[in-house]
Amino acid sequence: MGYKILSKKELAQNLYEIVVDAPNVTRRGEAGQFIILRVDENGERIPLTIADIDRDKNELTIVFMAVGYTTKKLAKLNEGNNIQDLVGPLGVPTHIQNYGTVVCVAGGYGAAPCYLIAKAFKEAGNRVHIIMGARQADLIFWQDKMANACNEFHITTNDGSLGTKGFVTDVLADIMKEEKIDHVMAIGPIPMMKAVSELTRPENIETYVSMNPIMVDGTGMCGACRVTVGGETKFACVDGPDFDGHKVDFDEITQRTGMYRDQECNLLKQAEKV
């Protein structure tokens, strides 16, 4: 039977939004959690963070970049098609409380899960900034949704084609000079989350990052998603995905992720020859 795709939209080049009928996820899913899906019965399991939830309609929204074998297969599905398996919600929800002033930093398609998290912080009474960064203007999406989920919405592009020219850390540094920040949440590429954490460290601003390393089973049994946090081994699927950015060993996770990426590229090249 599977999980029916209710709508599909291309947000940017190779970046897709799909809405799925998934009542088992929407009933209990919270900001910061994720799901694991298989496109078909022979497919691999891939984790995707929950981007939005409509509990009344049982609609789950996920956003993904079609860059690997499975995400490219997922991108070929259309409205009315079914996803074979979808398990969730998984992981620990983002801890939401009234900190005071919160900055949510989103890089690339990490902006998608940042929406639901920022919305939850705002509903908890925080003053919320969202900093959304991308290489260029056509990779910025959900502008209206993001603006509604926060008090102050900032856009950065590497080439200056939209918003502030530069990086998300440039805008974060400016905000840090102008007002007291009580909590930072960063979601996106590992180098970006590391840069945010290093920027806030000297000011001792509590900073959390959402880790999305290689995952297989989503239950902590395989150990593929292990992350070293404060010298201790944690598993992103059951202990995270959110961790204290000042304690994450980013160098280790960068090395491990690169190793898996190289192996995947080799496997894809072999598959193309068959």
- Sequence spans of domains, the chain: 3-90, 94-210, 213-274
Asked whether the beta carbons of 93 and 49 are under 8 A apart, the reply is: no
pTM given for the model: 0.86
- Both tokens of 242, joined, read 């959110």
Distance separating alpha carbons of residues 100 and 183, to the nearest angstrom? 8
Per-residue pLDDT of the chain (274 residues; tens, 9 = 90+): 688 999 999 998 888 999 999 998 999 999 999 998 888 888 788 888 899 999 999 999 999 888 888 888 989 999 999 999 888 899 899 999 999 999 999 987 778 889 999 999 999 999 999 999 998 898 899 999 999 999 999 999 999 899 999 999 999 999 999 999 999 999 988 999 999 999 999 999 999 999 876 666 666 667 677 888 889 888 877 887 889 999 998 888 888 776 555 444 444 444 444 4
Distance separating alpha carbons of residues 212 and 225, to the nearest angstrom? 8
Q: What angle do CA 136, 157, 129 make, to 5 degrees?
A: 130
* Whether the domain at 3-90 and the domain at 94-210 fall into the same CATH topology: no
Three-state SS at 234: strand
Sheet holding 46-49, edge to edge: 46-49, 34-38, 85-90
Other residues' Cβ atoms within 10 Å of the Cβ of residue 80: 10
Separation of CA 65 from chain center: 11
CATH 2.40.30.10 fits 3-90, yes or no: yes
Q: CATH number of the domain at 94-210, please?
A: 3.40.50.80
Three-state SS at 150: coil
Q: Which of 43, 41, 70, 52 is nearest to 9 (CA)?
A: 52
- Both tokens of 104, joined, read 């949510």
